[in-house]
Every structure is written in C-alpha cells, then in structure tokens.
Amino acid sequence: MERIFAPWRIRYVLAPKPKDCVFCSAVKGAEKEMLVVYTAEKSFVIMNRNPYNPGHVMVCPKRHVPSIEDLSDEEVLEIMKLVNLSMRAIRRSMNPDGFNVGINLGRVAGAGIAEHLHVHVVPRWNGDTSFMPVLADVQIIPQALEECYDQIRVAFESLIQK
C-alpha cells in the first residue's frame, strides 16, 4: 500500500467539532479566518474547508434555513447572483474548464450540513479526476486553502469594483 502524507489534515482531524452551525458562525467571525470570500446583504460566499477541488466555494444564506423552499424571493435571487459572481471570480483567478454547481437537500441527498442551506460551486479542469480517488480512495488537492482564498478574494474585489 502506498502512503501519501498530508500533514496539514491533522488540524481538521483533531479540531474540536463546532457545536454551533459553522455557516452561522462564519458570517459572524473574521472573514479571512473563517474563509468568507464575500458578504452580501442576505447571503455570503465561503471557501469549503474540505474541498472537492481547489477553488470550491459555497454560497449560503445568512438565515439558518435547511431548504431553498424556506428562502424569500429576494434571498433566492441574491444567492443565484452570488453563484454567478463566484463562477466569474473563479474563472478569472483560476481559469477552470467548467463547473459543478449544486445543492444537496437533506442528509440522504449528501448534505454534510443539512441544517443550513448552501450551494456548492466547484471548478473543474479537464483531467482533474485522476486514478487516485478510483484506485486508492485518496483525493489530491494541489493548492493550500489560504492561497486559494487570497486568489479568489482578489478576483471578487476586482469584479465588485467595476
């Protein structure tokens, strides 16, 4: 068996699990520390701490609701605008070949945090899925979260200032 060392993962493994909603806490905390890339009136964009790919962000309402059905029309519109803005910022800063955009409603549908709605925006590149996840049940993320955060944050700022 091949061993791949990822010593930075130990912080996640050993970190105390939050009692409060991570999304509610994130929007109240320090943006960079909480990896909040952008905040709007009713929603915000946050980096995924356990990304599928570099640049994986989530768009969340500020209100703690489990389903898109619980959102007001204004919240739905703002969230979709932030999905669009997120794609533009990631495209500008990382040049992906495509995106996966989706919502997992309920734990059975794959939601890791089912209590607080979030929309995944995952950049994809041709050939980004290698043999590692298939044969070794290992995923390689080639960029540090902090570096990716800075890169996408700059792109958001340049798009907003237009």
How far does CA 27 lie from the centroid of its chain? 14
pLDDT reported for residue 132: 47
Please compute the mean of the pLDDT values over residues 142-151 and round it to a whole number: 81
Active site residues: 118
Query: What does the alpha-carbon distance between residue 125 and residue 159 come to, in Å, rounded to a whole number?
Result: 22
Longest dimension (CA), the chain: 52
Summarised one tens digit per residue, pLDDT across range 33-61 is 899 999 999 999 999 988 888 899 999 99
Supply the pTM of this predicted model.
0.78
More confident residue, 29 or 129: 29
Q: Exposed, middle or buried, 49 (CB in 10 Å: 0-12/13-18/19+)?
A: middle
Summarised one tens digit per residue, pLDDT across range 83-130 is 999 999 999 999 999 999 999 999 888 888 899 999 999 999 887 765
- CATH numbers and ranges of domains, the chain: 20-160 (3.30.428.10)
